[in-house]
């Protein structure tokens, strides 16, 4: 059973546009929701993370929106740049133990 469901599988956005990736989870015990960014040939790296006690977290052009009642969270990339082209994974964890990853979204930002 997939603990975290992620969509879309791939996304094409024009430079300057907004990229939006969505994730949903079932386990209400999850208390930590990170997003990881992966470039080809590299390991995933933490981009931004949120705890369920806040509804939004912003770091530069990256924002996580969190809806606890709907058990959904999303990543918004404002003013998307070609350098943002990568694969993005959402994840969820309970007390930083097991991390469950979404299936990934391949983002392509067109110049």
Partner 1 sequence: DAGVIQSPRHEVTEMGQEVTLRCKPISGHNSLFWYRQTMMRGLELLIYFNNNVPIDDSGMPEDRFSAKMPNASFSTLKIQPSEPRDSAVYFCASSWGTSVTGELFFGEGSRLTVL
Residues that bind partner 1 (CB under 8 A): 32, 34, 36, 41-46, 49, 89, 93, 95-104
- Using CA atoms, how far apart are residues 17 and 81, in angstroms rounded to an integer? 8
Instruction: Please identify, using beta-carbon distances, which residue of 30 and 77 lies nearer to partner 1.
Output: 30
Q: Which parts of the chain are beta strand (E)?
A: 4-7, 10-14, 19-25, 33-38, 45-50, 56-59, 62-67, 72-77, 86-93, 99-101, 105-110
Instruction: Please identify, using beta-carbon distances, which residue of 13 and 50 lies nearer to partner 1.
Output: 50
Give the shortest CB-48-to-partner 1 separation in angstroms.
11
- Using CA atoms, how far apart are residues 8 and 102, in angstroms rounded to an integer? 11
Instruction: Please identify, using beta-carbon distances, which residue of 63 and 102 lies nearer to partner 1.
Output: 102
Give the shortest CB-83-to-partner 1 separation in angstroms.
19
For the chain, give the number of residues.
Answer: 111
Give the shortest CB-21-to-partner 1 separation in angstroms.
14
């Amino acid at each position: 059973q997939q603990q975290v469901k992620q969509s879309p599988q791939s996304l094409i956005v024009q430079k300057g546009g907004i990229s939006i990736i969505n994730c949903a989870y079932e386990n209400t015990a999850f208390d930590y929701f990170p997003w990881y960014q992966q470039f080809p040939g590299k390991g995933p790296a933490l981009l931004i993370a949120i705890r369920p006690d806040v509804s939004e977290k912003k770091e530069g052009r990256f924002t996580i929106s969190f809806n606890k009642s709907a058990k959904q969270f999303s990543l918004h990339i404002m003013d998307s740049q070609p350098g943002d082209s990568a694969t993005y994974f959402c994840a969820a964890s309970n007390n930083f133990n097991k991390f469950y990853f979404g299936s990934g979204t391949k983002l392509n930002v067109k110049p």
